[in-house]
């Protein structure tokens, strides 16, 4: 039955059921809320249109004020701005409270969040306020978070996440510092995602986290601190790997299992990209550019401490996972994982204390870890029934091979031979890899994972 | 649901009201002073037209002033100003509000850079200084669309800013003067 018709029918029958004592008032409200919250394709379309409408309306309000600013007195501007905010939230409250159109109500909450930001920006404009401009976006994001929690609004939380990202981007690029306060805001998103099972918001949260790490990369002054880049990427690698192990741990929990796949997928993207960067001998030696003629130095205390803390966390979570998966059930891919994690910890610790003189050996070790990691990831993806992991393993495997081919043969071979050989390798290698990938993902699709990997 | 929406509206209204009240308090109670500027431009897509105002007190040589002289980036700084012939001019800088005597005003800012040398165009050499770049939160002025660029292209006219400074050192732009005449005036109504 169409969801809205079903809801209509329920609304009609519910008072009778309550009268008969079959359903309490609270339960009736909970059932109606639940059904109203379920998505049918029609609802999704209406929801998407409502959200688009809200975005258009929000940007229309902002540009209208920007164009007609000079013709209004301050008090008129303030009255109109606050009035539109009240109207948006008021209409949302009416629609949500009467269960009339909860989806449109949610869209209007989003409009309220947008208008709150418009109010901040336009009051700043009225009074020519320019103190530390990212703060305006910070307060806007805080308004979004409060709205999300108080009104149980996933769109408001997603808006707050994007605003948080904008805030940290402004801080990172405008003030050239690694902006850690974003992580505090990011942690605030998590209880809502967990409590209300907001999977869409979880995806956005993980994307904002990855984007934040990219921002921090650009916040380091390259010409003054070439070591900073290496140790930062190494720290990313350990942190994303830790997050991946946390995802594995979440798979063993009834409460968190539903969130495990996105956590694993996004964290593995971050892990593999960081590991890929670490395989470059130039980065490991410190001879990355014309400006850097000397080998890189061992890590400074700040990198040693932060990396060791992350490694301890990684080892702790890995051991916890080991404890939760009983010996008789433990598949072989987990035994290989223990070897890989141990090798990773050893390599990272050594790399903190050596200079760039040993850069090529360290890079070689990271390359071995990289390609072994890819093979392991295919096994893990097969066992977990996660095609995404298998697919990215193949993509990174191909990327790694291609990069090493360029690294190794670019200067050794005649250019025309280099390109011809490269072309042949690409065609044949690509065909073989794609065949394997299709075979494995088809196996996962047919078997649903769990136990098919060695 | 209604109660929670009212709570959200109350919190957001208090915040927005606070923004307005803080600036309006400075405008209504602050001492009015005149500051000399050297405007330069950009344009913000989000905010419409505005000019960036660069005051003569935006860059100070701390060695030439009384008070404290050890500042770092992002430190709060209190600049004591005394009325000169036309403009208020800096006489001392402090980490804490020093209090102001008659004829003096203390304006609060934030250090955005510290430099120990400055390029001297006359000698074509770096000169030893202890220079602080300071922002007072009055560096942007929004004007009707299209007028910002015109205001900044004026090479013959002199642009001065009348600023209100309250007892805590917070400041707000009251008026823009072009060639000594008030061109834009800030009023609530």
Same domain as B173, residue B123: no
Decide if B138 and A90 are in contact by the 8 Å CB cutoff: no
Reply yes or no on whether the pLDDT at B46 is more than 50. no
Do B18 and B64 share a domain, yes or no? no
Asked if A143's CB is within 8 angstroms of B19's CB, the reply is no
> CA nearest B8 in A: which residue?
A147
* Pick from A123, A146, A147: CB nearest B20: A123
In chain B, how many domains are there? 2
Q: Which residues of A touch B5 (CB under 8 A)?
A: 89-90, 92-93, 151
**Contact criterion met (CB < 8 Å) for A123 and B16:** yes
Chain A's closest residue to B135, CA to CA, is A131
For residues B62 and B126, membership in a common domain is answered with yes
The CA distance from A67 to the nearest CA of chain B, in Å, is: 7
The arithmetic mean of pLDDT across residues B83-91, rounded, is: 90
Measure A10 CA to nearest chain B CA, in Å. 21
B186 and B162 part of one domain:
yes
Q: Is the pLDDT of residue B42 over 70?
A: no
Instruction: Count Cβ–Cβ pairs < 8 Å, chain A vs chain B.
Output: 98
Structure confidence at residue B146 (pLDDT): 65
Q: Are residues B76 and B45 in the same domain?
A: no
User: Which residue of chain A comes nearest to B51, CA vs CA?
Assistant: A128
Report chain B's mean pLDDT, rounded to a whole number: 84
Tell me the nearest-neighbour CA distance from B149 into chain A, angstroms. 16
The whole domain housing B29 covers 1-53+140-189
Q: For position A452, what pLDDT does the model report?
A: 46
- Judge if B162 and B92 occupy the same domain: no
pLDDT tens-digit readout, B179-189: 888 877 877 66
Both B3 and B22 in one domain: the answer is: yes
Of B97, B117, B135, which residue is a domain's last?
Answer: B135
Nearest CA in chain A to B188: A74
Q: What is the pLDDT of residues A321-379, one digit of tens each?
A: 988 887 776 778 888 888 999 999 999 999 999 888 888 899 999 999 999 999 899 88
**ipTM for the assembly:** 0.80
B48 to A69: CB separation less than 8 angstroms, yes or no = yes
Nearest-Cα residue of chain B relative to residue A108? B5
B48 and B31 in a single domain? The answer is yes
CA atoms within 13 A on the CB side of B110: 10
Per-residue pLDDT, B3:
87
Let me know whether B131 and B75 are in one domain: yes
Are residues B78 and B95 both part of a single domain? yes
Which residues of chain B are within 8 Å of residue A146 when distances are taken between CB atoms? 8, 11
pLDDT value, residue A323: 87
List of chain A residues whose C-beta atoms are within 8 Å of the C-beta of residue B173: 128
Same domain, B119 and B144: no
Residue B44 has what pLDDT? 45
Residues in chain B with CB shorter than 8 Å from the CB of A90 are: 5
Give the model's pLDDT for residue B152: 62
**B 50-89: CB under 8 A from A:** 50
Q: Does B138 touch chain A (CB under 8 A)?
A: yes
A85 touches chain B (CB under 8 A): yes
- Using a CB-CB cut-off of 8 Å, the residues of chain A touching B137 are 129-131
CB contact, 8 Å: B119 with chain A? Answer: no
- Residues of B within 8 A of A69 (CB-CB) are 48, 142, 144-145
Encode chain A in three state secondary structure: CCHHHHHHHHHHHHHHHHHCCCCCHHHHHHHHHHHHHCCCHHHHHHHHHHHHHHHHHHHHHHHHHHHHHHHCCHHHHHHHHHHHHHHHHHHHHHHHHCCCCHHHHHHHHHHHHHHHHHHHHHHHHHCCCCCCCHHHHHHHHHHHHHHHHHHCCHHHHHHHHHHHHHHHHHHHHHHCCCCCHHHHHHHHHHHHHHHHCCHHHHHHHHHHHHHHHHHHHHHCCCCCCHHHHHHHHHHHHHHHHHHHHHHHHHHCCCCCHHHHHHHHHHHHHHHHHHHHHHCCHHHHHCCCCCCCCCCCCCCCHHHHHHHHHHHHHHHHHHHHHHHHCCHHHCCHHHHHHHHHHHHHHHHHHHHHHCCHHHHHHHHHHHHHHHHHHHHHHHHHHHHHCCHHHHHHHHHHHHHHHHHHHHHHHCCCCCHHHHHHHHHHHHHHHHHHHHHHHHHHHHHHHHHCCCCCCC
In this predicted structure, what is the pLDDT of residue A125? 81
Instruction: Tell which of A130, A133, A174 to mutate to test the B interface (max B CBs under 10 Å).
Output: A130
Quote the pLDDT of residue A451.
45
The 10s digit of each residue's pLDDT in B96-115 is 999 888 889 999 999 988 88
Shared-domain flag, residues B122 and B174? no
Of B135, B156, B173, which residue constitutes the final position of a domain? B135
Which residues share a beta bridge with B93?
Answer: B67, B79
pLDDT in tens, chain A (454 residues): 556 677 778 888 888 888 888 887 777 877 877 776 664 555 666 677 777 777 777 777 766 766 666 667 778 878 888 888 898 899 888 888 887 777 788 888 998 998 899 889 888 888 888 777 889 999 999 999 999 999 999 999 999 999 999 999 998 887 777 888 999 999 999 999 999 999 999 999 999 999 999 888 887 765 556 677 889 899 999 999 999 999 999 988 889 999 999 999 999 999 999 999 999 888 888 776 555 567 888 888 888 999 999 999 999 999 999 888 877 767 788 888 889 999 999 999 999 998 888 888 999 999 999 999 998 998 888 888 888 888 888 889 888 888 887 777 666 666 666 667 767 776 777 777 777 777 777 777 766 555 444 4
Query: Which of B13, B24, B137 is the closest to A130 by Cβ?
Result: B137
Local confidence band at B165 (pLDDT 50, 70, 90 cut-offs): very high
DSSP letter for B51, please. Answer: E
């Amino acid at each position: 039955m169409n969801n809205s018709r079903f809801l209509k029918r329920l609304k009609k029958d519910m008072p009778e059921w309550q009268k008969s004592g079959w359903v309490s008032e609270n339960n009736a409200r909970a059932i109606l809320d639940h059904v109203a919250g379920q998505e049918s394709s029609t609802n999704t379309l209406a929801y998407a249109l409502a959200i688009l409408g809200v975005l258009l309306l929000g940007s229309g309000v902002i540009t209208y004020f920007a164009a007609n600013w000079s013709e209004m007195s301050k008090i008129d501007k303030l009255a109109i701005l606050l009035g539109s905010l009240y109207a948006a939230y008021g209409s949302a409250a009416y629609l949500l409270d009467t269960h009339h159109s909860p989806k449109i109500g949610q869209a209007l909450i989003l409009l309220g969040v947008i208008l709150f930001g418009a109010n901040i920006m336009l009051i700043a404009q009225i009074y020519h306020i320019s103190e530390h401009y990212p703060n305006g976006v910070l307060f806007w994001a805080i308004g979004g978070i409060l709205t999300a929690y108080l009104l149980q609004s996933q769109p408001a939380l997603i808006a707050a996440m994007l605003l948080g990202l904008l805030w940290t981007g402004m801080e990172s690029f405008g003030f050239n510092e690694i902006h850690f306060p974003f992580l505090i805001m990011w942690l605030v998103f998590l209880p809502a995602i967990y409590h209300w099972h907001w999977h869409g918001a979880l995806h956005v949260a993980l994307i904002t986290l990855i984007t934040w790490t990219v921002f921090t990369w650009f916040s380091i002054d390259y010409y003054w601190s070439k070591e900073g880049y290496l140790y930062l990427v190494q720290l990313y690698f350990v942190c994303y790997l830790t997050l991946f192990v946390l995802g594995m741990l979440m798979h063993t929990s009834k409460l968190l299992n539903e969130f495990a796949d996105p956590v694993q997928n996004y964290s593995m993207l971050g892990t593999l990209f960081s590991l890929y960067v670490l395989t470059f001998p130039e980065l490991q030696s410190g001879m990355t550019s014309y400006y850097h003629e000397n080998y890189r130095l061992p890590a400074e205390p700040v990198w040693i401490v932060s990396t060791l803390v992350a490694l301890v966390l990684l080892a702790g979570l890995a051991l916890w996972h080991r404890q939760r998966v009983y010996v008789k059930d433990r598949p072989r891919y987990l035994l290989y994982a223990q070897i890989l994690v141990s090798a990773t910890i050893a390599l990272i610790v050594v790399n903190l204390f050596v200079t760039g003189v040993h850069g090529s050996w360290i890079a070689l070790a990271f390359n071995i870890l990289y390609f072994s990691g890819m093979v392991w990831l295919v096994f893990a993806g097969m066992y977990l029934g996660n095609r995404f992991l298998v697919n990215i393993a193949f993509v990174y495997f191909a990327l790694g091979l291609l990069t090493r081919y360029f690294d190794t043969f670019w200067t050794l071979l005649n250019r025309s031979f280099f390109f011809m050989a490269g072309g042949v390798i690409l065609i044949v290698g690509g065909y073989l890899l794609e065949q394997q990938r299709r075979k494995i993902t088809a196996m996962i699709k047919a078997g649903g994972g769990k136990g098919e990997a060695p | 649901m209604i109660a929670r929406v009212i709570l959200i509206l109350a919190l957001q209204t208090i915040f927005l009201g606070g923004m307005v009240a803080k600036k309006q308090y400075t405008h209504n109670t602050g001492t009015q002073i005149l500051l000399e500027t050297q405007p330069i431009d950009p344009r913000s897509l989000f905010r419409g037209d505005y000019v960036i105002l660069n005051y003569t007190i935006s860059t100070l040589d701390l060695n030439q002033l009384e008070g404290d002289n050890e500042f770092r980036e992002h430190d709060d700084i209190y600049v004591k100003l005394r009325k000169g012939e036309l403009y208020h001019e800096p006489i001392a800088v402090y980490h804490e509000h020093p209090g102001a005597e008659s004829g003096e005003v203390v304006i609060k800012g934030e250090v955005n850079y510290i430099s120990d040398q400055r390029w001297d165009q006359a000698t074509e050499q770096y000169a030893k200084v202890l220079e602080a770049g300071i922002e007072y939160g009055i560096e942007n002025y929004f004007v009707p669309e299209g007028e910002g660029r015109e205001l900044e292209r004026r090479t013959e006219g002199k642009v001065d800013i009348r600023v209100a400074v309250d007892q805590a050192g917070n400041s707000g732009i009251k008026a823009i003067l072009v060639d000594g005449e008030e061109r834009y005036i800030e009023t609530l109504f």
